[in-house]
Protein backbone atom coordinates (compact mmCIF):
# COMPACT_ATOMS: atom_id res chain seq x y z
CA UNK A 1 0.00 0.00 0.00
CA UNK A 2 2.87 2.30 0.86
CA UNK A 3 4.44 1.83 -2.58
CA UNK A 4 1.05 2.44 -4.20
CA UNK A 5 0.60 5.68 -2.27
CA UNK A 6 4.13 6.80 -3.12
CA UNK A 7 3.59 6.04 -6.80
CA UNK A 8 0.27 7.88 -6.84
CA UNK A 9 1.72 11.00 -5.20
CA UNK A 10 4.74 11.03 -7.53
CA UNK A 11 2.35 10.55 -10.44
CA UNK A 12 0.23 13.51 -9.35
CA UNK A 13 3.31 15.71 -8.98
CA UNK A 14 4.72 14.63 -12.35
CA UNK A 15 1.41 15.16 -14.18
CA UNK A 16 1.05 18.63 -12.64
CA UNK A 17 4.65 19.42 -13.55
CA UNK A 18 4.13 18.27 -17.16
CA UNK A 19 0.93 20.27 -17.59
CA UNK A 20 2.44 23.47 -16.15
CA UNK A 21 5.59 22.98 -18.23
CA UNK A 22 3.38 22.80 -21.28
CA UNK A 23 1.75 26.15 -20.48
CA UNK A 24 5.20 27.75 -20.35
CA UNK A 25 6.30 25.63 -23.33
CA UNK A 26 3.53 27.08 -25.48
CA UNK A 27 4.58 30.60 -24.50
CA UNK A 28 8.19 29.71 -25.26
CA UNK A 29 7.27 28.25 -28.63
CA UNK A 30 5.34 31.34 -29.66
CA UNK A 31 8.16 33.65 -28.59
CA UNK A 32 10.71 31.41 -30.31
CA UNK A 33 8.68 31.21 -33.52
CA UNK A 34 8.27 34.98 -33.38
CA UNK A 35 12.03 35.46 -33.15
CA UNK A 36 12.61 33.12 -36.09
CA UNK A 37 10.13 35.06 -38.18
CA UNK A 38 11.37 38.54 -37.13
CA UNK A 39 8.36 39.39 -34.99
CA UNK A 40 7.73 39.68 -31.28
CA UNK A 41 5.26 36.92 -30.46
CA UNK A 42 2.80 37.49 -27.59
CA UNK A 43 3.47 40.72 -25.69
CA UNK A 44 0.15 41.96 -24.30
CA UNK A 45 -0.97 39.58 -21.53
CA UNK A 46 1.28 39.78 -18.48
CA UNK A 47 5.01 40.57 -18.47
CA UNK A 48 6.52 39.71 -21.89
CA UNK A 49 3.26 37.94 -22.71
CA UNK A 50 3.88 35.24 -20.12
CA UNK A 51 0.19 34.80 -19.24
CA UNK A 52 -0.85 34.30 -22.85
CA UNK A 53 -1.31 30.49 -22.53
CA UNK A 54 -3.55 31.05 -19.50
CA UNK A 55 -5.66 33.52 -21.47
CA UNK A 56 -5.82 31.03 -24.35
CA UNK A 57 -7.01 28.23 -22.09
CA UNK A 58 -9.68 30.42 -20.50
CA UNK A 59 -10.83 31.51 -23.94
CA UNK A 60 -10.94 27.94 -25.28
CA UNK A 61 -12.85 26.62 -22.27
CA UNK A 62 -15.50 29.33 -22.65
CA UNK A 63 -16.20 28.43 -26.26
CA UNK A 64 -19.38 26.66 -27.27
CA UNK A 65 -19.08 22.88 -27.48
CA UNK A 66 -20.31 22.07 -30.98
CA UNK A 67 -20.99 18.45 -31.91
CA UNK A 68 -21.83 17.70 -35.57
CA UNK A 69 -25.39 16.38 -35.95
CA UNK A 70 -24.37 13.08 -37.53
CA UNK A 71 -21.33 12.51 -35.35
CA UNK A 72 -20.96 9.31 -33.36
CA UNK A 73 -21.52 11.13 -30.08
CA UNK A 74 -19.93 8.80 -27.53
CA UNK A 75 -16.81 8.11 -29.60
CA UNK A 76 -16.56 11.82 -30.42
CA UNK A 77 -16.51 12.65 -26.70
CA UNK A 78 -14.24 9.79 -25.71
CA UNK A 79 -11.46 10.45 -28.25
CA UNK A 80 -9.91 13.64 -26.75
CA UNK A 81 -10.01 12.14 -23.24
CA UNK A 82 -8.22 8.98 -24.36
CA UNK A 83 -5.70 11.02 -26.35
CA UNK A 84 -4.69 13.00 -23.26
CA UNK A 85 -4.71 9.90 -21.07
CA UNK A 86 -2.45 7.89 -23.38
CA UNK A 87 -0.12 10.85 -23.97
CA UNK A 88 0.37 11.19 -20.21
CA UNK A 89 0.58 7.43 -19.66
CA UNK A 90 4.10 6.98 -20.97
CA UNK A 91 5.39 9.42 -18.31
CA UNK A 92 4.61 6.82 -15.62
CA UNK A 93 7.81 4.84 -16.19
CA UNK A 94 10.18 7.76 -16.89
CA UNK A 95 12.49 8.38 -13.94
CA UNK A 96 13.01 12.11 -13.37
CA UNK A 97 15.65 11.47 -10.72
CA UNK A 98 17.02 8.39 -8.96
CA UNK A 99 13.88 8.25 -6.79
CA UNK A 100 11.22 10.33 -8.58
CA UNK A 101 9.47 7.73 -10.72
CA UNK A 102 5.80 6.83 -10.64
CA UNK A 103 6.14 3.13 -11.48
CA UNK A 104 9.59 1.69 -12.08
CA UNK A 105 8.44 -1.27 -14.18
CA UNK A 106 11.03 -3.82 -15.27
CA UNK A 107 9.43 -3.68 -18.73
CA UNK A 108 9.44 0.14 -18.78
CA UNK A 109 10.60 0.49 -22.39
CA UNK A 110 7.93 -1.96 -23.54
CA UNK A 111 5.33 0.06 -21.62
CA UNK A 112 6.41 3.25 -23.41
CA UNK A 113 6.16 1.55 -26.81
CA UNK A 114 2.81 -0.06 -25.97
CA UNK A 115 1.29 3.23 -24.82
CA UNK A 116 2.69 4.87 -27.95
CA UNK A 117 0.99 2.19 -30.06
CA UNK A 118 -2.30 2.93 -28.29
CA UNK A 119 -2.19 6.56 -29.42
CA UNK A 120 -3.53 5.60 -32.86
CA UNK A 121 -6.87 4.53 -31.35
CA UNK A 122 -8.09 7.97 -30.16
CA UNK A 123 -6.69 9.55 -33.33
CA UNK A 124 -8.67 7.22 -35.50
CA UNK A 125 -11.70 7.46 -33.23
CA UNK A 126 -11.76 11.24 -33.60
CA UNK A 127 -11.38 11.07 -37.37
CA UNK A 128 -14.15 8.53 -37.71
CA UNK A 129 -16.62 9.91 -35.17
CA UNK A 130 -16.50 13.45 -36.58
CA UNK A 131 -18.26 12.23 -39.73
CA UNK A 132 -16.30 14.71 -41.79
CA UNK A 133 -14.24 13.96 -44.90
CA UNK A 134 -11.27 16.02 -43.80
CA UNK A 135 -11.27 14.57 -40.31
CA UNK A 136 -11.48 11.03 -41.68
CA UNK A 137 -8.66 11.61 -44.17
CA UNK A 138 -6.58 13.21 -41.43
CA UNK A 139 -7.32 10.30 -39.11
CA UNK A 140 -6.34 7.70 -41.70
CA UNK A 141 -3.15 9.53 -42.56
CA UNK A 142 -2.31 9.85 -38.87
CA UNK A 143 -2.85 6.16 -38.25
CA UNK A 144 -0.84 5.13 -41.33
CA UNK A 145 1.99 7.41 -40.25
CA UNK A 146 1.96 6.33 -36.61
CA UNK A 147 1.88 2.63 -37.48
CA UNK A 148 4.75 3.02 -39.97
CA UNK A 149 6.98 5.13 -37.76
CA UNK A 150 6.47 2.81 -34.81
CA UNK A 151 8.87 0.42 -36.60
CA UNK A 152 11.96 2.71 -36.64
CA UNK A 153 10.97 3.91 -33.16
CA UNK A 154 11.07 0.38 -31.78
CA UNK A 155 14.37 -0.30 -33.56
CA UNK A 156 15.94 2.91 -32.23
CA UNK A 157 14.82 2.16 -28.68
CA UNK A 158 16.25 -1.36 -28.95
CA UNK A 159 19.79 0.07 -29.11
CA UNK A 160 19.99 1.35 -25.50
CA UNK A 161 18.09 -1.76 -24.37
CA UNK A 162 20.65 -4.07 -26.02
CA UNK A 163 23.63 -2.04 -24.80
CA UNK A 164 22.47 -1.89 -21.20
CA UNK A 165 20.81 -5.31 -21.14
CA UNK A 166 17.65 -4.14 -19.35
CA UNK A 167 14.23 -2.76 -20.23
CA UNK A 168 13.83 -0.89 -16.97
CA UNK A 169 14.19 2.80 -17.78
CA UNK A 170 15.91 3.60 -14.48
CA UNK A 171 18.22 0.63 -15.11
CA UNK A 172 19.20 2.08 -18.50
CA UNK A 173 19.94 5.45 -16.88
CA UNK A 174 22.05 3.78 -14.17
CA UNK A 175 23.95 1.86 -16.80
CA UNK A 176 24.66 5.13 -18.63
CA UNK A 177 25.80 6.63 -15.33
CA UNK A 178 28.32 3.82 -14.88
CA UNK A 179 29.47 3.66 -18.51
CA UNK A 180 28.61 6.41 -20.96
CA UNK A 181 25.60 8.10 -22.49
CA UNK A 182 24.20 6.02 -25.33
CA UNK A 183 24.10 9.01 -27.71
CA UNK A 184 27.85 9.63 -27.18
CA UNK A 185 29.50 6.23 -27.16
CA UNK A 186 29.64 3.87 -29.04
CA UNK A 187 29.28 6.46 -31.83
CA UNK A 188 27.80 3.74 -34.06
CA UNK A 189 25.04 2.73 -33.13
CA UNK A 190 24.53 5.28 -30.34
CA UNK A 191 24.36 8.63 -32.12
CA UNK A 192 22.41 7.50 -35.22
CA UNK A 193 19.99 5.66 -32.94
CA UNK A 194 19.37 8.90 -31.07
CA UNK A 195 18.74 10.77 -34.33
CA UNK A 196 16.46 7.97 -35.49
CA UNK A 197 14.54 8.13 -32.22
CA UNK A 198 14.19 11.89 -32.55
CA UNK A 199 12.82 11.63 -36.11
CA UNK A 200 10.42 8.83 -35.19
CA UNK A 201 9.27 10.80 -32.16
CA UNK A 202 8.56 13.84 -34.35
CA UNK A 203 6.51 11.61 -36.63
CA UNK A 204 4.67 9.89 -33.77
CA UNK A 205 3.66 13.22 -32.24
CA UNK A 206 2.70 14.61 -35.68
CA UNK A 207 5.12 17.49 -35.62
CA UNK A 208 6.45 19.30 -38.69
CA UNK A 209 8.03 18.04 -40.93
CA UNK A 210 5.74 15.08 -40.26
CA UNK A 211 2.44 16.87 -39.67
CA UNK A 212 0.69 15.40 -42.73
CA UNK A 213 -2.35 14.40 -40.63
CA UNK A 214 -3.04 18.03 -39.87
CA UNK A 215 -1.77 19.64 -43.09
CA UNK A 216 -3.94 22.74 -42.73
CA UNK A 217 -3.51 23.70 -46.38
CA UNK A 218 -5.11 20.42 -47.49
CA UNK A 219 -7.20 19.04 -44.64
CA UNK A 220 -8.48 22.16 -42.78
CA UNK A 221 -7.24 20.83 -39.43
CA UNK A 222 -7.24 17.05 -39.85
CA UNK A 223 -8.82 15.16 -36.98
CA UNK A 224 -9.48 18.32 -34.96
CA UNK A 225 -11.59 19.92 -37.71
CA UNK A 226 -14.91 19.39 -35.93
CA UNK A 227 -13.64 19.87 -32.39
CA UNK A 228 -14.30 23.03 -30.42
CA UNK A 229 -13.80 24.39 -26.93
CA UNK A 230 -12.68 22.05 -24.18
CA UNK A 231 -12.35 18.98 -26.42
CA UNK A 232 -10.14 20.86 -28.87
CA UNK A 233 -8.07 22.05 -25.91
CA UNK A 234 -7.58 18.44 -24.84
CA UNK A 235 -6.34 17.44 -28.29
CA UNK A 236 -4.09 20.46 -28.50
CA UNK A 237 -2.72 19.70 -25.06
CA UNK A 238 -2.30 15.98 -25.82
CA UNK A 239 -0.05 16.88 -28.74
CA UNK A 240 2.22 18.97 -26.49
CA UNK A 241 2.15 16.32 -23.75
CA UNK A 242 3.16 13.71 -26.30
CA UNK A 243 6.11 15.81 -27.45
CA UNK A 244 7.20 16.61 -23.90
CA UNK A 245 6.94 13.03 -22.64
CA UNK A 246 8.72 11.85 -25.81
CA UNK A 247 11.53 14.31 -25.05
CA UNK A 248 11.74 12.98 -21.49
CA UNK A 249 11.93 9.40 -22.81
CA UNK A 250 14.66 10.41 -25.27
CA UNK A 251 16.58 12.19 -22.52
CA UNK A 252 16.50 9.11 -20.29
CA UNK A 253 17.24 6.49 -22.93
CA UNK A 254 19.92 8.30 -24.92
CA UNK A 255 21.21 11.30 -22.96
CA UNK A 256 21.81 9.74 -19.57
CA UNK A 257 18.63 10.93 -17.80
CA UNK A 258 19.41 12.47 -14.44
CA UNK A 259 23.13 11.83 -14.89
CA UNK A 260 25.36 14.84 -15.47
CA UNK A 261 28.59 16.51 -14.41
CA UNK A 262 28.98 18.04 -10.90
CA UNK A 263 25.71 17.03 -9.21
CA UNK A 264 23.54 14.37 -10.88
CA UNK A 265 19.86 14.86 -10.21
CA UNK A 266 16.48 16.15 -11.25
CA UNK A 267 17.82 19.40 -12.73
CA UNK A 268 19.86 17.58 -15.40
CA UNK A 269 16.87 15.53 -16.45
CA UNK A 270 14.69 18.66 -16.67
CA UNK A 271 17.38 20.52 -18.61
CA UNK A 272 17.83 17.71 -21.15
CA UNK A 273 14.10 17.23 -21.57
CA UNK A 274 13.54 20.93 -22.16
CA UNK A 275 16.44 21.10 -24.64
CA UNK A 276 14.96 18.25 -26.65
CA UNK A 277 11.53 19.88 -26.41
CA UNK A 278 13.03 23.12 -27.72
CA UNK A 279 14.77 21.20 -30.52
CA UNK A 280 11.39 19.87 -31.66
CA UNK A 281 10.14 23.44 -32.03
CA UNK A 282 13.36 24.54 -33.66
CA UNK A 283 12.77 21.88 -36.32
CA UNK A 284 9.07 22.73 -36.48
CA UNK A 285 9.61 26.38 -37.35
CA UNK A 286 12.57 25.72 -39.68
CA UNK A 287 11.34 23.03 -42.03
CA UNK A 288 8.52 22.48 -44.45
CA UNK A 289 6.03 19.65 -44.45
CA UNK A 290 6.84 16.39 -46.25
CA UNK A 291 4.50 15.06 -48.87
CA UNK A 292 2.60 11.94 -47.82
CA UNK A 293 4.52 9.59 -50.15
CA UNK A 294 7.88 11.15 -49.26
CA UNK A 295 7.03 10.48 -45.64
CA UNK A 296 6.42 6.80 -46.29
CA UNK A 297 9.52 6.57 -48.50
CA UNK A 298 11.65 8.02 -45.73
CA UNK A 299 10.23 5.60 -43.18
CA UNK A 300 10.35 2.34 -45.10
CA UNK A 301 13.29 2.86 -47.46
CA UNK A 302 15.65 4.71 -45.15
CA UNK A 303 14.81 4.77 -41.46
CA UNK A 304 13.72 1.14 -41.10
CA UNK A 305 16.79 -0.43 -42.82
CA UNK A 306 19.06 1.93 -40.88
CA UNK A 307 17.29 0.88 -37.69
CA UNK A 308 17.82 -2.81 -38.44
CA UNK A 309 21.49 -2.12 -39.09
CA UNK A 310 21.82 -0.21 -35.81
CA UNK A 311 20.25 -3.05 -33.83
CA UNK A 312 22.74 -5.47 -35.43
CA UNK A 313 25.58 -3.07 -34.68
CA UNK A 314 24.51 -2.80 -31.04
CA UNK A 315 24.37 -6.59 -30.70
CA UNK A 316 27.80 -6.91 -32.32
CA UNK A 317 29.21 -4.26 -29.99
CA UNK A 318 27.90 -6.07 -26.93
CA UNK A 319 29.40 -9.35 -28.17
CA UNK A 320 32.80 -7.85 -29.04
CA UNK A 321 33.28 -5.85 -25.85
CA UNK A 322 33.61 -8.53 -23.16
CA UNK A 323 32.17 -7.46 -19.83
CA UNK A 324 32.67 -3.75 -20.38
CA UNK A 325 29.94 -3.38 -23.00
Partner 1 sequence: MTASVGFGFMAACTLVSAIFVVRSKNLIRAALWLGATLLLTAALYAMLDASFLAGVQVLLYVGGISTLLIFGVMMTRKHEGLVVEAETVNVPRGVFAAGALFGGVAAAIKMTPELDSGVRPPVVTANDLGRGLLIDHVLAFEVVSLLLLVAIIGAVVIARKRDPGAEVPGFVRRPLAAKASSAKPVANEVSP
Shortest reach from residue 186's CB to partner 1, in Å: 22
Which stretch, 20-28, 34-42, 102-110, 244-252, contacts partner 1 (CB under 8 A)?
A: 102-110
- Residues 265-294 binding partner 1 (CB under 8 A) are none
Residue 104 binding partner 1, by CB under 8 A: no
Residue 223 binding partner 1, by CB under 8 A: no
Nearer to partner 1, 131 or 177 (CB): 131
Shortest reach from residue 103's CB to partner 1, in Å: 11
Among 17, 117, 220, 279, binds partner 1 (CB under 8 A): 117
Which H, E and C letters describe the chain, residue by residue? Answer: CHHHHHHHHHHHHHHHHHHHHHHHHHHHHHHHHHHHCCCCCCCCCCHHHCCHHHHHHHHHHHCCCCCCCCCCHHHHHHHHHHHHHHHHHHHHHCCCCCCCCCCCCCCHHHHHHHHHHHCHHHHHHHHHHCCCHHHHHHHHHHHHHHHHHHHHHHHHHHHHHHHHCCCCHHHHHHHHHHCCCCCCCCHHHHHHHHHHHHHHHHHHCCCCCCCCCCCHHHHCCHHHCCCCHHHHHHHHHHHHHHHHHHHHHHHHHHCCCCCCCCCCCHHHHHHHHHHHHHHHHHHHHHCCCCCHHHHHHHHHHHHHHHHHHHHHHHHHHHHHCCCCC
Among 105, 230, 283, 296, binds partner 1 (CB under 8 A): 105
Q: Residues 167-186: x/- map of binding to partner 1 (CB under 8 A)?
A: x-------------------
Residue 234 binding partner 1, by CB under 8 A: no
Residue 315 binding partner 1, by CB under 8 A: no
Residue 197 binding partner 1, by CB under 8 A: no
Q: Residues 55-84: x/- map of binding to partner 1 (CB under 8 A)?
A: ---------------xxx--x---------
Nearer to partner 1, 61 or 147 (CB): 147
Residue 201 binding partner 1, by CB under 8 A: no
Residues of the shown chain interacting with partner 1 in the complex, contacts defined by CB under 8 A: 70-72, 75, 105-107, 110-111, 113-118, 120-121, 124-125, 128, 131, 140, 143-144, 147, 150, 167
Amino acid sequence: MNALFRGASYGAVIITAILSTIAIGIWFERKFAGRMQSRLGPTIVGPVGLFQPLADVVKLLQKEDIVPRDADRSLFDLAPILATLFALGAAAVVPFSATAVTADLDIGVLWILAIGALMVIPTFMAGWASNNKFALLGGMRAVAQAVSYAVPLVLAVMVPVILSGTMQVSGIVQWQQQHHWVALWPVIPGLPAFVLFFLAMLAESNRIPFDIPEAESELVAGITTEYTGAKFTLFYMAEYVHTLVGSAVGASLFLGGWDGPFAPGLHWMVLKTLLLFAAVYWVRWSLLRFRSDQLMDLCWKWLTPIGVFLVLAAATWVQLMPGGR
